């Protein structure tokens, strides 16, 4: 089975089990090797002690006769250890001393280096021995001493140790897998809580949040990100719900007008003039609805990043002069002056930027008292181009400044219904156009002066 197909709990359990097995195998091999080394050193120490005692006994003999006299003492020394085999060979190869089983020691070990341990197996018995050379009186050549210990019990011990090690390893593997599953399941409880919260999410439960107190430090960032996502979803859902309600609210007035006019006209027989007047009134409402639908489609495209402005050089002073010419008649009717200062250039879509500045000018004309002046200033710096439109009028409270660019938002609740030319989407469209050009827009209002400010980054040709 592919590891990726397993659950996170199963993966962590397997990894925990693998780690435990690896530690146990390393510890077991280390213990096994240290035990073998320990027993080997014990065997070496025992053999060295016997060899030293044998040297001392043989050193007491002054001639061959004395050597024969020392043999009983050798038998008492070497024969006292039931697991010890001993043989003493003269320089000519004759055996001077040997116990009943020592003659079976291979002759090849007579030439082994001193202090080196050698191993020899006879059937199921395992021996470990040493070879030493001793100079004795009356001997023309050194005597060769071969001592071997029966270490079969040691071998049986290590076989048993291996068997129990594998049995213990299997048991520990199963226990570590079970323990790893319990620990992983307990440690992943916050993830399950996130999953359960996500599975239970609905339009009515977006205000739910996962508490941070029981969450471990490693998962707190995940929970914080998830809670932040829920907050954004809740905010977007509320905005969408309000947007839907605002759409219905704004469309209700023209639809009511259409139905009322039509019902009145159809209530009795009328002449052609009355029908024509009613059709003209209906046409105005239909145009308002058409503009509103076009504006909402524009905003929907902007929200999905589908607005891609052209990249043409635009002289802002020329654009402002063109818009001033368009609004000059309306401004004169209201007794308002239009003034422009500065110059600058941006790269973008001429029609979109014209619409954005036109929306701001129309908004300024709507709220500027008669006899006042609307100022449009252009300022160009090394890295950006700024456009500001300022008009005298009522000061907008600070709590409304950030919401002015929301759809259908009006700072004055009394003007909630709007009028035939104002649906509350102009500033939202303006912000979308500015952001599509990688710029930013904000509003300031204090001491009876309200200004909308835009900044666009300067781009190389």
Query: What span, in angstroms and rounded, lies between the C-alpha atoms of 10 and 32?
Result: 32
Query: What span, in angstroms and rounded, lies between the C-alpha atoms of 207 and 203?
Result: 9
Query: In the CATH scheme, what architecture does the domain 217-303 have?
Result: Orthogonal Bundle (1.10)
> Has residue 262 got a pLDDT over 60?
yes
According to CATH, what is the number of the domain 312-457?
3.30.565.10
At 102-130, the pLDDT tens digits run 667 888 888 888 778 888 888 888 888 88
> Has residue 58 got a pLDDT over 70?
yes
At 148-160, the pLDDT tens digits run 888 888 888 888 9
The pLDDT-based confidence of 420 (bands split at 50, 70, 90) is very low
State both tokens at 232. Answer: 């954004």
- Spatial CB neighbours of 2, under 8 Å, sequence gap ≥ 6: none
Query: What span, in angstroms and rounded, lies between the C-alpha atoms of 361 and 302?
Result: 22
Per-position DSSP letters for 399-418, written without gaps between them: HHHTTTTSTT--S-GGGTT-
Q: In the CATH hierarchy, which top-level class contains the domain 3-174?
A: alpha beta
Domain ranges of the chain: 3-174, 217-303, 312-457
By the 8 A CB rule, do 323 and 360 touch?
no
**196: closest CA among 204, 417, 188, 147?**
188
Query: What span, in angstroms and rounded, lies between the C-alpha atoms of 337 and 378?
Result: 17
Which H or E run contains 127?
A: strand 125-134
| CB-based burial label for 389 (10 Å; 0-12, 13-18, 19+) | buried
**DSSP strand pairing (373-380 vs 337-341):** parallel
Query: What span, in angstroms and rounded, lies between the C-alpha atoms of 315 and 96?
Result: 123
**DSSP strand pairing (125-134 vs 118-122):** antiparallel
Whether 3-174 and 217-303 share one fold: the answer is no
How far apart, in Å, are the Cα atoms of 124 and each of 44, 81, 108, 163, 255?
A: 21, 20, 20, 19, 108
Per-position DSSP letters for 193-228, written without gaps between them: HHHHHHHT--TT-TT----STTS-HHHHHHHHHHHH
- Supply the DSSP symbol for 110: G
- Spatial CB neighbours of 18, under 8 Å, sequence gap ≥ 6: none
At 181-220, the pLDDT tens digits run 888 888 777 777 777 766 776 766 677 777 777 667 777 7
The pLDDT-based confidence of 432 (bands split at 50, 70, 90) is confident
- The partner residues of 422 in beta bridges, in order of sequence, read 419
Averaged over 35-63, what is the pLDDT? Answer: 81
At 343-389, the pLDDT tens digits run 899 988 888 889 889 989 998 998 899 999 999 999 998 889 999 99
Residue with tokens 């082994």: 112
């Amino acid at each position: 089975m592919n590891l990726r197909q397993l659950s996170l709990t199963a993966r962590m359990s397997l990894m925990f089990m693998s780690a435990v097995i690896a530690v146990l195998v390393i510890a077991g091999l280390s213990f096994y090797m240290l035990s073998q080394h320990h027993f080997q050193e014990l065997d070496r120490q025992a053999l060295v002690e016997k060899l030293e005692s044998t040297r001392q006994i043989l050193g007491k003999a002054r001639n061959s006769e004395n050597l024969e006299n020392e043999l009983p003492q050798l038998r008492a020394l070497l024969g006292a250890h039931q697991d010890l085999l001993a043989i003493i060979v003269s320089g000519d190869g004759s055996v001077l001393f040997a116990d009943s089983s020592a003659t079976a020691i291979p002759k090849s070990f007579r030439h082994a280096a001193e202090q080196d341990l050698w191993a020899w197996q006879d059937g199921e018995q395992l021996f470990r021995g040493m070879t030493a050379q001793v100079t004795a009186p009356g001997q023309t050549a050194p005597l060769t001493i071969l001592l071997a210990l029966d270490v079969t019990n040691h071998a049986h011990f290590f076989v048993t140790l291996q068997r129990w090690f594998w049995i213990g390893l299997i048991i520990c593997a199963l226990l570590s897998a079970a323990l790893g599953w319990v620990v992983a399941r307990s440690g992943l409880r916050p993830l399950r809580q996130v999953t359960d919260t996500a599975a239970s999410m609905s339009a009515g439960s977006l205000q739910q949040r996962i508490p941070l107190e029981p969450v471990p430090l490693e998962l707190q960032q995940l929970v914080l990100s998830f809670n932040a996502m829920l907050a954004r979803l809740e905010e977007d859902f509320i905005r969408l719900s309000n947007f839907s309600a605002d759409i219905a609210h704004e469309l209700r007035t023209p639809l009511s007008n259409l139905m009322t006019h039509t019902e009145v006209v159809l209530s009795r027989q009328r002449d052609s003039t009355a029908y024509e007047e009613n059709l003209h009134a209906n046409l105005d409402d239909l145009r308002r609805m058409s503009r509103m639908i076009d504006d909402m489609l524009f905003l929907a495209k902007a929200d999905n990043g589908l607005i891609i402005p052209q990249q043409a050089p635009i002289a802002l002073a020329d654009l402002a002069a063109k818009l001033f010419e368009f609004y000059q008649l309306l401004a004169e009717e209201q007794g308002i002056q239009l003034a422009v200062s500065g110059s600058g250039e941006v790269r973008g879509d001429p029609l979109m930027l014209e619409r954005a500045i036109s929306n701001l000018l129309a908004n300024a004309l709507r709220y500027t008292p008669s006899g006042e002046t609307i100022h449009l200033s252009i300022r160009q710096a090394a890295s950006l181009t700024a456009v500001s439109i300022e008009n005298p009028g009522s000061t907008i409270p600070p709590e409304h400044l950030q919401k002015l660019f929301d759809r259908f938002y009006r700072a004055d609740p009394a003007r909630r219904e709007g009028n035939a030319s104002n649906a509350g989407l102009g500033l939202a469209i303006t912000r979308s156009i500015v952001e599509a050009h990688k710029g930013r827009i904000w509003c300031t209002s204090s001491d009876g002066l309200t200004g909308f400010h835009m900044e666009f980054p300067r781009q190389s040709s």
